[in-house]
Amino acid sequence: MTDFTTARDQIVAVGRWLDGKGWAPATSGNYSVRLDDGSFAVTVSGRHKGRLTPDDAMRVDAAGESLDGKRPSAETALHLALYRAFPDVGAVLHSHSPAAVGLSRAVTGDGYTLTGHEMLKALPGIATHDASVILPIVENSQDMAVIDAGITPRLLEPGAIPAYLIRSHGLYGWGRDMAEAERVIEAIEWMIAAELAERSFR
């Protein structure tokens, strides 16, 4: 668990890190941390993630209601759905890389299989490159309840990884703490980029 001051600093830092990689263009992306009092620290709506300040993080309750008068990201509901589904999750990140969005638009179906990557070992519970996982893809919607209903049952299936793509939108990844969430996002983004690079040589 984490106090708000620590979570706020983590959110500012991760915003700059993701923006530096080109994974948070314009004001896209949103980040959150589970707090030790049962509330959640989240990014304020409409802020550029590469220029976040401590004032750009806020607290919401388990229903997504603001606890300090600020307006949370519209996608806060998707973060809270993950915290409800996985009580051990401590942080959730949402990136918008061109590679992830491009892959989600280029492939059909409700998932993409990642096989044989050394980087798979960065995901929790995977100890060898000799593995295959499915990165789920859910259709985009302006209604967060529709996305939640479409993806959460799949995330609860055996062998599910802590990440999913929203088609034409971006990547969600999460972990027990911010460091693990960062590792998941970076590993998935790297594997997506590698897959697209491989396709370019075919």
pLDDT over 70 percentage in the chain: 100
Report pLDDT digits (tens) over 115-159.
999 999 999 999 999 999 999 999 999 999 999 999 999 999 999
Number of other CB atoms surrounding residue 37 within 10 Å: 12
Report pLDDT digits (tens) over 99-120.
999 999 999 999 999 999 999 9
- For 53, phi then psi, to 5°, come to -120, 170
Helix (H, G, I), strand (E, B) or coil at 111: strand
Say how far apart CA 92 and CA 82 lie, in whole Å.
8
Q: Which of these, 75, 88, 73, lies nearest to 164 by C-alpha position?
A: 75
Q: Please provide the average confidence, as pLDDT, over all residues in the chain.
A: 96
Number of other CB atoms surrounding residue 144 within 10 Å: 17
Q: Decide if pLDDT at 1 tops 70.
A: no
Number of domains in the chain: 1
Say how far apart CA 43 and CA 147 lie, in whole Å.
20
Whichever domain contains 84, its CATH number is 3.40.225.10
Say if residue 48 carries a ligand binding annotation: no
Upper half-sphere CA count for residue 49 (Cβ side, 13 Å): 29
Say how far apart CA 26 and CA 29 lie, in whole Å.
9
Report pLDDT digits (tens) over 172-200.
999 999 999 999 999 999 999 999 999 88
> What pLDDT was estimated at residue 202?
78
Number of other CB atoms surrounding residue 188 within 10 Å: 28
Helix (H, G, I), strand (E, B) or coil at 166: strand
Report pLDDT digits (tens) over 10-50.
999 999 999 999 999 998 999 999 999 999 999 999 999 99
Q: Which of these, 145, 148, 163, lies nearest to 89 by C-alpha position?
A: 163
Owning domain of residue 164 = 4-200
Provide the whole-model pTM. Answer: 0.96
Say how far apart CA 31 and CA 15 lie, in whole Å.
8
- Please list, in sequence order, all residues whose beta carbon lies within 8 angstroms of the beta carbon of residue 67, skipping any fewer than 6 positions away: 39, 58, 59, 60, 61
What is the identity of the amino acid at 150?
A: G
